[in-house]
Structure 1
């Protein structure tokens, strides 16, 4: 049984990670505005792919685009699962693995400062930590477990 502080902490971690993943994933699709707009990192798929191709420099562009699409789709799905608390443990493990792979690609292509500056390793570690918790109160998993 977790304490109320632990319940609040897991909720904050779950929603914080999920919201971050969702925000980044939707930015690649232009949800927050066009490229160059305030508070927009990419603004569309083409601008995101310039960055993704840089990280996956060892792959042909067409293959890198497939991997980027799979990763972006997974990131949005993991975000929704984490925010709603559905299949939380699996979503946390999946998002942790996804971000660890992203951190490794960033390190190889750009150096160790890049994943550290953007807290990619921290978010990955947070996802893995979330996957170890015994319960997810205020979640679909919690409701299903009590039913």
Structure 2
């Protein structure tokens, strides 16, 4: 099997979009207790407050909602290949903010254990691959 940029790009798109969707599903209790990190929305909001102590408590629910909406949008766009490079870079920045928030509030171990820096790097790498493969964008480009 030959691994080329097309294969790598496709794999990165699937990996990042499924990771976002899995995290969102966890917030809404769609994973079993045995594998869940948050298990429900309130636990997710509590964790958001823990890693964002500089944000006023009155804004935490809004931040959690916005981040969740962004993760759903980014996941969908990456999955179908819509503006892949753009949404990959946005995903990378969001993941990097998340990793740095974890690091500065609870220590670097959590960010390492949950591979958030790795996911951010993968998203930056995805954003640098210009070749189109199995993407909606390819349908919109006149070749």
Q: Give the TM-score of the pair, scaled to structure 1.
A: 0.89
Q: Which residue, 129, 136, 140 being the options, matches 1:140?
A: 136
Indicate conservation of the 8 Å contact 1:11/1:136, yes or no.
no
**TM-aligned CA deviation for residue 4 of structure 1:** 6.4
What residue ranges of structure 2 are gaps of 5+ in the alignment?
Answer: none
**TM-aligned CA deviation for residue 38 of structure 1:** 2.1
Backbone CA RMSD of aligned residues: 1.6
Query: CA offsets, 1:2-39, max 9 Å, x none?
Result: x8622111100111111111110121122335xxx222
Q: May I ask how many residue pairs the two structures share in their alignment?
A: 142
Q: Which residue is equivalent to 1:22?
A: 21
Indicate conservation of the 8 Å contact 2:17/2:76, yes or no.
yes
What residue ranges of structure 1 are gaps of 5+ in the alignment?
Answer: none
Give the SS at the match of 1:47: helix
Structure 2 CA distance for aligned equivalents of residues 77 and 26 of structure 1: 14
Runs of 4 or more consecutive aligned structure 1 residues displaced over 4 Å after TM superposition = none
Indicate conservation of the 8 Å contact 2:85/2:130, yes or no.
no
1:67-86 counterparts in 2 under 5 A?
Answer: 67-86=63-82
Indicate conservation of the 8 Å contact 1:86/1:139, yes or no.
yes
Q: Give the TM-score of the pair, scaled to structure 2.
A: 0.91
